[in-house]
């Protein structure tokens, strides 16, 4: 069965303190991995798609990387406005457009 596990569940960082969030997955034939950011009371906001091992994507202070078993979301010199829950997701069985989501990492950046 396809599974997505995120760690840690929660992370508190000082402003400027870089760190990484982990998303490990077990799927039969990866057809992409998606990262989202979700603020309280809002829907998930799309950040990145990664399709193959070795691929990297960057956006401002965020960089997502992908290996054959896991993905990392690296946050460099975070700011308080980066505080949010970060979710990763993988597509379900071939041809299906259902995303399996991890339970997310709740990031708090303290000024």
Partner 1 sequence: KAGVTQTPRYLIKTRGQQVTLSCSPISGHRSVSWYQQTPGQGLQFLFEYFSETQRNKGNFPGRFSGRQFSNSRSEMNVSTLELGDSALYLCASSLDGRNQPQHFGDGTRLSIL
Which residues contact partner 1 (rule: CB under 8 A)? 31-32, 34, 36, 41-46, 49, 51, 87, 89, 91-92, 95-104
Residue among 55 and 92 whose Cβ is closer to partner 1 = 92
CB of 110 to partner 1, least distance (A): 24
Q: Which residues face 105 on adjacent strands?
A: 86
Backbone angles phi, psi at 80, to 5 degrees: -55, -30
The pairing of strands 105-110 and 3-7 is unpaired
Q: State in angstroms the smallest separation of the CB of 111 from partner 1.
A: 26
Nearer to partner 1 (CB atom), residue 2 or residue 70:
2
Quote the CA–CA distance of 16 and 67 in Å, as a whole number. Answer: 26
Min dist CB 34 to partner 1, Å, is 6
Two tokens, residue 19: 């760190």
């Amino acid at each position: 069965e396809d599974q997505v596990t995120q760690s840690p569940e929660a992370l508190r960082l000082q402003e400027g303190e870089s760190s990484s969030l982990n998303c490990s997955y077990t799927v039969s034939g990866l057809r992409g991995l998606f990262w989202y950011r979700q603020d309280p009371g809002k829907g998930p906001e799309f950040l990145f798609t990664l399709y193959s091992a070795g691929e990297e994507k960057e956006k401002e202070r965020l960089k997502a990387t992908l290996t054959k078993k896991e993905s990392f979301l690296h946050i460099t010199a975070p700011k308080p406005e980066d505080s949010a829950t970060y979710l990763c997701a993988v597509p379900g069985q071939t041809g299906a457009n259902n995303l399996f989501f991890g339970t997310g990492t709740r990031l708090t950046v303290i000024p």
